[in-house]
Structure 1
Amino acid sequence: MTQADMTNEQKAQTQGQLNIVGAHVEGQQQVFTEGALNLLSVLCANYMDELESLLEARGERQRKFDQGELPDFLPHTREVREGNWQVRGIPADLQDRRVEITGPVDRKMIINALNANVKVFMADFEDSLSPTWEKVVQGQVNLMDAVRGDISFTNEQTGKHYQLKEDPAVLIARVRGLHLKEKHIEFAGKPIPGALCDFALYFYHNYHQLLAKGSGPYFYIPKLESHLEARWWAKVFRMVEERFCLAPGTIKCTCLIETLPAVFEMDEILFELKDNIVALNCGRWDYIFSYIKTLKNHPDRILPDRQQVTMDKPFLSAYSRLLVKTCHKRGALAMGGMAAFIPAKDEAGNAQVLTKVRGDKELEARNGHDGTWVAHPGLADTAMGIFNEYIGEGHANQLHITRDVDAPILAAELLAPCDGERTEEGMRLNIRIALRYIEAWISGNGCVPIYGLMEDAATAEISRASIWQWIQHEQYLSNGKLVTKQLFKDMLVQELANVKEEVGAEAFTHGKFTQAAVLLEQITTADELVDFLTLPGYRMLTE
């Protein structure tokens, strides 16, 4: 049943099934208006059950991979891949996305990001946000203020005042992945999808103001694993456009290709969303995690130290080039990945950081990407300079680079094993990064500077999943040590002590490092790989 088919009585009954069970937090009345609740109720009534079926299909597909199958291009969608079609089109303010900055929906972060030397700010309800109820609600309030241009922030300790400049970056909201729930809102007695919560509230409160100023309701969609999941989103978008009497294609989205199964369905994802989609993005860190997770039972596909898995490795290079070729063939932009570095305080250290960023961004620009991501405003100028050079005067993007002369990229290239060492130093670093990130996340902070990198959930996922895989497949470190559960537990105790020394006794005592260590041990030594650390983490966060 669609919204158009519903009687007033049925609409009232549907809204009656929606129940906010979270404690009252500041901004709640502003966010959960009658209109917003009506939209959220209808979306839940129409699409929650189908989403559960899609998530079950993920599990069924993974079981086949666990039994020895490998991902591949789908034979029954060959006509889509070989067909002559393009996406509907790209709005004027999304034509030029040469540098984007990402970060959580924190008030100060939003202002600094929109003011940075970038074209787009991706306001993140997903991997860089620890989704406490207060932050989810306040994040919506902050974005409402940002869209209306009256957002400001004053640091109470320093007195420093932050406000928007005249011409801020374009705003895109990233909603949560389909697997994540929002337990503070229930529909028919069940927690609702976080994705529907984030999408419905941001759309409802901001679409009119965004369209009035020549922009629109723009979204990033994370962690898709199939074109059927893209089809689900297309249904959601279509229903909302019809409900609010908007032209088809008014809602625009960019999908992250950050799971291994999805890289084999990029054409199909673009096709399913062709009215609404404008770009695909190389979500490289989650993609590496997904490579481990998808191929976790394949002993010939074990990754080395995380630091050695760089974009010039064959399986990642193939992924980047195929994304560019696929997008440009269909008239969509091809966005590059994240530079997670943060500027160093000393001049020599900062020069090293910028050298690494330049190399990474030059590779993306040469491959034909239309833009890239940075995690810190201090890297924006460097990234912007590189993409200005490659895109050139008079162009907004690199859609003219078709890569038609490239040889076809085969499944074997996308699945190619990655060479490199597994070192004790790398394993210990993984443990410390995962410890520090998990502690921050369960304390309510999802975007954390650690050892010169701005870490989010994806990098912590790689860190713990790599060790899990090394244990399961009885890998040896370069110094001859066999990776076992006991070796990991011994290192965890030692690295927990090292983290205490790094952060200081007071911060350690008042933090949640012991709880983080318990969670890290549980998910790393489990016989089955936990899908996402944020699932058990969310239970701890909201207890």
Structure 2
Amino acid sequence: MNTTPTSTLERETTRASETTTREPATTTGSFATSQPWIEVTAPLGDRYSEILTPEALAFLAELHDRFAGIRHDLLAARLQTRVASANGRDPRFLPETASVRADASWRVAGAGPGLEDRRVEITGPTDRKMAINALNSGAKVWLADQEDATSPTWTNVIEGQISLFDALRGQLSFTSPEGREYTVAGRVGLTHGGEAETPTIVMRPRGWHLVEKHLRFHDRSGRAMSASGSLVDFGLYFFHNARRLIELGLGPYFYLPKLESHREARLWNDVFSFSQDHLGIPQGTVRATVLIETIQAAFEMEEILYELRDHCAGLNAGRWDYIFSIIKTFRSRGRRWVFPDRSEITMTVPFMRAYTELLVSTCHRRGAYAIGGMSAFIPNRRDPEVTGRALEKVATDKRREAGDGFDGTWVAHPDLIPTARAEFDAVFEDRSDQLHRLRDDVHVTAAQLLDIPSIGGSVSEEGVRDNVRIAVRYIESWLRGIGAAAIDNLMEDAATAEISRSQVWQWVNDNTITREGRRIDAAWLETVVTGVSDELERFDGDRFDDAFAVFRQVALEPEFPTFLTIPAYTRFL
């Protein structure tokens, strides 16, 4: 018998799946329709009509008509996997797909034009100022992030699309409230010599689990539901920009987040194939890089590559979400799975080494790029000592990745690009990748991927307080529409906040004892929360009261929401 509480999201997912997959009901009345359609339920700001055109909305309706039901089924399958994990079943390499892993003949499509050199990629949100900074950064790729680095306010979602639209047409500019003007220094696209003056854009849509509540999909029977955030982000960008990107010598490129199975990768592949045919784009033009950031996906890397092989450029080691996924998956499985202070979970602990080495060897065996993750340390231009420490730690992190065979890496700040680039240049020499390094020496087992006890370490009272501070301060920022926040000289996004709040939930529910001898229970946590609240510097327009409400819901309640952003989005955005 399952003893794990089913979250509200999971209950809604199950109901949505049941509704979508049964035979369409016969409806009558003014809301019945023979054609699916998308309803806009939020106000239209300046230029929103350029993105939410009737043709673009019709394309979104087509995507939802074909794929929304499958999406709901896959989310319901996630629930079943979580229940099985909570009841003691560990993830495994799938016996039913062993033939895919054993077949040495297949390869992925590989790099598209402008993606051949990915040594340093800069990540960041798509607001106009940050987009210009990214395009002027000197990185090889800009991960234009509509996901973890973006708070999905209606303004951010649509104006982010406007930023990308303008960037691809050479008309992106921004004037700050202080009168400072920002413009893109180079031309977006490839020159006649095949070089790019600005980073190649790879857009990251929201994950399959997220909705866009300001757009409602009405199906053929007249039933209405919130649109899929994934299909909205992908669909608007692809509809408006796919042909333009091809004209620029590039293509529509995407980072795919939060996948938990190869069947979810297959759904993305089907979306790509349909969209290319629907808009008359040659098949195989799309390129996708998949973030391996869940423990479930780590066991299906080859299958994910296989499902996307006609459109796949590589995999990325999404380290912070990966750690969160492990905590979430095994949070109620006993003391063996309890993590120490967040600061002690480094990339060199055995289970993280197994994960990254498996990713590199899997990618290179199939002709796919392996892209490293983002170090959280960032420089501070007003504090040379902080900057020096950040550069040293980033150099160490990127030296390890380059030495392991990664073909590129992420940074979150332009000042880190030279440091990261130097570490990869030292290893690459005359090459633009390391695909020749097959890493045949790597043989990772399921036990190594799940070797959590080898972390060692302990939980400290200050580690608990740090997690509460980080989670609350990030949530407050997110509620104000800022999805990437510099907190105590670290770049925090939704993934790192998820680690902080999920650790707190796990420690409370496990009755963990700190190294100082303190039992972590709900009563003591309330004193910690009160202390954090008292030390915060309040300001006009802050959202700390709402942030504490969200934190209590996602970290201190018995029911564990699968993502903190879901209740926060539903209630406050």
TM-score band by shorter chain is over 0.9
Partner letter of residue 428 of structure 2?
I
Is 1:162 aligned to residue 180 of structure 2?
A: no
Residue 562 of structure 2 aligns with which residue? 531
Partner letter of residue 547 of structure 2?
A
Residue 284 of structure 2 aligns with which residue? 249
Match of 2:45 among 25, 41, 45: 25
Do 2:522 and 2:556's aligned partners in 1 also have CA atoms closer than 8 Å? yes
Per the TM alignment, residue 17 of structure 1 is displaced from its structure 2 partner at its CA by 2.6
Over aligned residues, Cα RMSD in angstroms?
1.3
Match of 2:441 among 405, 416, 419: 405
Residue 148 of structure 1 aligns with which residue? 169
Do 1:149 and 1:164's aligned partners in 2 also have CA atoms closer than 8 Å? no
Match of 1:200 among 229, 235, 238: 235
Do 2:285 and 2:311's aligned partners in 1 also have CA atoms closer than 8 Å? yes
Match of 1:341 among 370, 373, 377: 377
* Partner Cα separation in structure 2 for residue 349 and residue 18 of structure 1: 49
Residue 484 of structure 1 aligns with which residue? 521
Per the TM alignment, residue 497 of structure 1 is displaced from its structure 2 partner at its CA by 1.0
* Partner Cα separation in structure 1 for residue 512 and residue 182 of structure 2: 53
Residue 435 of structure 1 aligns with which residue? 472
- Deviation per residue, 1:481-525 (Å, 9 max, x gap): 00101111110000111123xxxx4x1x53110111121112212
Do 2:205 and 2:256's aligned partners in 1 also have CA atoms closer than 8 Å? yes
* Partner Cα separation in structure 1 for residue 498 and residue 409 of structure 2: 22
Residue 545 of structure 2 aligns with which residue? 514
* Partner Cα separation in structure 2 for residue 72 and residue 528 of structure 1: 26
- TM-score (normalised: structure 2): 0.89
* Partner Cα separation in structure 2 for residue 164 and residue 195 of structure 1: 31
Do 2:173 and 2:181's aligned partners in 1 also have CA atoms closer than 8 Å? no
| Structure 2 unaligned blocks of 5 or more | 1-31, 188-196, 219-223
Per the TM alignment, residue 108 of structure 1 is displaced from its structure 2 partner at its CA by 0.7
- Deviation per residue, 1:420-462 (Å, 9 max, x gap): 1211111101000001001111121111110001110001000
* Partner Cα separation in structure 2 for residue 14 and residue 83 of structure 1: 45
- Deviation per residue, 1:373-401 (Å, 9 max, x gap): 000001111001111111112x1111011
Residue 81 of structure 1 aligns with which residue? 101
Residue 365 of structure 1 aligns with which residue? 402
Is 1:278 aligned to residue 278 of structure 2?
A: no
Match of 2:113 among 79, 85, 92: 92
* Partner Cα separation in structure 1 for residue 87 and residue 236 of structure 2: 41
Partner letter of residue 371 of structure 1?
G
Match of 2:151 among 113, 127, 130: 130
* Partner Cα separation in structure 2 for residue 105 and residue 194 of structure 1: 16
Structure-2 change in CA distance of 1:440 and 1:38 (3 Å):
same
Is 1:171 aligned to residue 208 of structure 2?
A: no
* Partner Cα separation in structure 2 for residue 118 and residue 216 of structure 1: 18
Residue 89 of structure 2 aligns with which residue? 69
Match of 1:473 among 483, 486, 510: 510
Per the TM alignment, residue 25 of structure 1 is displaced from its structure 2 partner at its CA by 2.0
> Alignment partner of 1:540: what SS?
helix
Give runs of ≥4 in structure 1 deviating > 6 Å: none
Residue 25 of structure 2 aligns with which residue? none
Partner letter of residue 108 of structure 1?
K
Residue 318 of structure 1 aligns with which residue? 354
Do 1:14 and 1:45's aligned partners in 2 also have CA atoms closer than 8 Å? no
Partner letter of residue 541 of structure 1?
F
> Alignment partner of 2:74: what SS?
helix
> Alignment partner of 1:469: what SS?
helix
Match of 1:234 among 248, 269, 284: 269
* Partner Cα separation in structure 2 for residue 274 and residue 267 of structure 1: 10
- Deviation per residue, 1:36-92 (Å, 9 max, x gap): 112111000000011001000000010000001111111111001111211123223
* Partner Cα separation in structure 2 for residue 59 and residue 349 of structure 1: 43
Match of 1:425 among 462, 483, 494: 462
Match of 2:61 among 28, 37, 41: 41
Partner letter of residue 140 of structure 2?
K
* Partner Cα separation in structure 2 for residue 239 and residue 338 of structure 1: 33
* Partner Cα separation in structure 1 for residue 182 and residue 267 of structure 2: 42
Structure-2 change in CA distance of 1:236 and 1:511 (3 Å):
same
Structure-2 change in CA distance of 1:186 and 1:68 (3 Å):
same
Is 1:52 aligned to residue 101 of structure 2?
A: no
* Partner Cα separation in structure 2 for residue 355 and residue 198 of structure 1: 36
> Alignment partner of 1:343: what SS?
coil
Match of 2:530 among 473, 493, 501: 493
Do 1:14 and 1:41's aligned partners in 2 also have CA atoms closer than 8 Å? no
Match of 1:356 among 393, 399, 405: 393
* Partner Cα separation in structure 1 for residue 319 and residue 310 of structure 2: 26
Residue 267 of structure 1 aligns with which residue? 302
Per the TM alignment, residue 530 of structure 1 is displaced from its structure 2 partner at its CA by 1.1
Structure-2 change in CA distance of 1:298 and 1:280 (3 Å):
same
Is 1:327 aligned to residue 363 of structure 2?
A: yes
* Partner Cα separation in structure 2 for residue 157 and residue 348 of structure 1: 29
- Deviation per residue, 1:328-381 (Å, 9 max, x gap): 000000000002222122222211111111111111111110000000001111
Match of 1:191 among 201, 214, 226: 226
* Partner Cα separation in structure 2 for residue 396 and residue 376 of structure 1: 22
Do 1:434 and 1:464's aligned partners in 2 also have CA atoms closer than 8 Å? yes
Do 2:514 and 2:520's aligned partners in 1 also have CA atoms closer than 8 Å? yes
Which stretch has the larger CA shift, 241-250 or 36-45?
241-250
Do 2:120 and 2:410's aligned partners in 1 also have CA atoms closer than 8 Å? yes
* Partner Cα separation in structure 2 for residue 478 and residue 510 of structure 1: 38
Do 2:117 and 2:432's aligned partners in 1 also have CA atoms closer than 8 Å? yes
- Deviation per residue, 1:255-282 (Å, 9 max, x gap): 1000010000000000000000101000
Do 2:129 and 2:182's aligned partners in 1 also have CA atoms closer than 8 Å? no
- Deviation per residue, 1:260-314 (Å, 9 max, x gap): 1000000000000000010100000000000100111222111111111000000
Partner letter of residue 39 of structure 1?
F
Do 1:26 and 1:134's aligned partners in 2 also have CA atoms closer than 8 Å? no
* Partner Cα separation in structure 1 for residue 180 and residue 481 of structure 2: 24
Per the TM alignment, residue 419 of structure 1 is displaced from its structure 2 partner at its CA by 1.4
Do 1:282 and 1:337's aligned partners in 2 also have CA atoms closer than 8 Å? yes
Partner letter of residue 190 of structure 1?
M
Partner letter of residue 89 of structure 2?
E
> Alignment partner of 1:192: what SS?
strand
* Partner Cα separation in structure 2 for residue 233 and residue 382 of structure 1: 35
Do 2:292 and 2:316's aligned partners in 1 also have CA atoms closer than 8 Å? yes
> Alignment partner of 2:171: what SS?
coil
Structure-2 change in CA distance of 1:15 and 1:380 (3 Å):
farther
Question: What is the count of residue pairs matched by the alignment?
Answer: 523
